[in-house]
Structure 1
Amino acid sequence: MSTTSQLAKRFREVLLDGKWIANTNFKDQLSDVTWEQVTTKIGSLNTVAMLAFHIDYYIAGLINVFEGGDLEIRDQFSFDLPPIESQKQWEELLNKLWDDAEKFASLLEQMPDSKMNEVFVDQKYGTYLRNIDGMIEHCYYHLGQITLIKKLILSKQE
């Protein structure tokens, strides 16, 4: 299996369908919660909705680069989630996340392995491999947060 295929598989595992590392994934954690739950604030923690938006923000930014565009995302805007005031709005955010995740993985699978050692946008960002690995690790980091915040929210409702 090529490096890019392996990376795409790892990416899909954390977002869409895997159980290997964390015994869960974003889709498992986010598919059974309401918009009221995901917008519930627990202390100073980010909301579940903010974390889902944050991850999609970075995925969409990398997709733009994969498709030949510029790196237009900025950390300062990565939590700028528009208000979610209905289940429909929450489901739209989820659908965008699932669609972007699959698009990211598909574009990654189409890349030649040699691309992994090329500079990603600018020398200061390192290689494509470093950025793709970083994206997967970033997703697992926030998956852990989502899992814990979700447990806190559900325990308050019991």
Structure 2
Amino acid sequence: MRTKQIANRFREVILDGLWIANTNYKDQLSNITWEQATTRVESLNTIALLTFHINYYIEGVLNVLKGGALEIRDKYSFDAPKITSEEDWKILLNSLLDNAEEFASLIDTMPDEQLDNYFVDEKYGTYQRNIEAMIEHSYYHLGQITLIKKMLSNE
């Protein structure tokens, strides 16, 4: 039951929730053009870069949930490829949404006991800690995306 609850919390921030922030990534990003996504507002990261950043971590943890190794490194989490077309932007956006759905589905079917197991190595804490960190990290950047989007609409 815990895994279902945490999977739903993850879905809320990325795919379909309104409870915490009254929005989610899918809602905020679905009507953004590639030009908007790549427009820099002052010294802030772009929406595309923040989208890549969150997807990078989802992909990395997803790999572990699928039985693979933890291969991501913080120093590469902003190394996004250039977005130069609507197609590039849609590929990134679809990757985020697809990865998020698979991530949530794997958590959903995980036995509750696994949440208390160490994630890869004891130094990283438990699965639950890492999944909750993913949710919190996602909300942090969702706030940034929402503000940048508002700033862009006022230009």
TM-score tier by shorter-chain length is over 0.9
The 2-side partners of 1:81 and 1:152 are apart by: 22
Shift of the alpha carbon at 1:44? 1.2
Unaligned runs of 5+ in 1: none
Shift of the alpha carbon at 1:48? 0.3
Task: Give the aligned partner of residue 31 of structure 1.
Answer: 30
The 1-side partners of 2:3 and 2:100 are apart by: 15
The 5-angstrom pairing of residues 116-155 of structure 1 reads: 116-155=115-154
The 2-side partners of 1:25 and 1:111 are apart by: 24
Using the aligned pairs only, state the percent identity: 63
Shift of the alpha carbon at 1:154? 1.0
Indicate the SS of the match to 2:149.
Answer: helix
The 2-side partners of 1:34 and 1:122 are apart by: 40
The 2-side partners of 1:44 and 1:74 are apart by: 24
Task: Give the aligned partner of residue 100 of structure 1.
Answer: 99
The 2-side partners of 1:43 and 1:150 are apart by: 13
Task: Give the aligned partner of residue 12 of structure 1.
Answer: 11
Shift of the alpha carbon at 1:141? 0.3
Task: Give the aligned partner of residue 89 of structure 1.
Answer: 88
TM-score by length of 1: 0.97
Shift of the alpha carbon at 1:83? 0.5
The 2-side partners of 1:85 and 1:126 are apart by: 39
* Alignment pair present for 1:57 and 2:52: no
The 2-side partners of 1:38 and 1:24 are apart by: 18
Indicate the SS of the match to 1:23.
Answer: coil
The 2-side partners of 1:67 and 1:34 are apart by: 32
Unaligned runs of 5+ in 2: none
Structure 1: 4+ residue segments shifted above 6 A: none
Shift of the alpha carbon at 1:43? 1.4
Q: Say what the alpha-carbon RMSD is for the aligned residues.
A: 0.5
Amino acid at match of 2:13: V
Shift of the alpha carbon at 1:12? 0.5
Shift of the alpha carbon at 1:56? 0.4
Indicate the SS of the match to 1:69.
Answer: coil
What's the CA shift string for 1:113-148, capped at 9, x where partnerless? 000000001111100000000000000000000000
The 2-side partners of 1:83 and 1:154 are apart by: 22
The 2-side partners of 1:20 and 1:148 are apart by: 18
